Structure 1
Amino acid sequence: MIIIAGALRVDAADRDDYLAGCAQIVTRAREAAGCLDFALSADPVEADRVNVYERWETDEDLHRFRGTGPDAGQTARILDADVHKYRIAGVEAP
């Protein structure tokens, strides 16, 4: 299993509009083969932060979707990103 998690930074005044523009991306991801979860959300404390959380079955599923991800306009609005890929060897109840 692959997890993509971290944070994006966008202009605080533009964050809600940025997230609204991501709705189609979230929908496409959740419908994509191998997507187990996909969420982009406003951080409740930092006005310029967008939280990123994705779960994918395989690298191949993730890479196939990446070809249909955000357009150049959406990407240009990201001021900074601290997002990483994690490989998960096992899953268990907390």
Structure 2
Amino acid sequence: MRIIVAGWLTYAGDAETCSRIITGGADHIAASRAEHGCVAYNWAVDPLEPGKIHVYEEWESEEALLHHFRDPSYLAMRTHLDQWELTGFGVLIYSVNGVEAVYGEDGWPRREIFGVTLTD
């Protein structure tokens, strides 16, 4: 089953501080992306809320995520992030039972997702 890790972290400072955090963590992000079972791994500066970083990860399985938590790159990333003052945290783990495309064959957003149909 696919696993999504998504949420946000806020730091004392502004968007420039967050950019420095992400740029300085590029090696940790790259190492995480190279781990077995990693489908996606990204940090992004929020364009509207200074000091906020969004986190998005996708893993092939629960086991892959649990291995990530024990990987040296994860531990190094935690040490890296501890250099700045964390003021808020909201990151959660989501299980994914199915995956469907956003767009249909016609190139438009789907009108049905996982059996639920939009009625006008």
Q: Is TM (by shorter chain) over 0.5?
A: yes
Shift of 1:76: 5.0
Contact 2:25 2:80 in 1 (8 A): no
Q: Secondary structure at the match of 2:68?
A: helix
Shift of 1:7: 0.5
Greater C-alpha Rg? 2
Shift of 1:71: 3.5
1:6 matched residue in structure 2: 7
Highest RCO, 1 vs 2 (Cα 8 Å, sep ≥ 6): 1
List alignment gaps of at least 5 residues for structure 2: 103-120
TM-score (norm 2): 0.72
1:39 matched residue in structure 2: 42
Shift of 1:80: 1.7
Aligned length: 94
Shift of 1:21: 1.6
List alignment gaps of at least 5 residues for structure 1: none
RMSD: 1.4
Shift of 1:36: 0.2
2:54 to 51, 54, 62: 51
Superposition misfits of 4+ residues, deviation over 4 angstroms: none
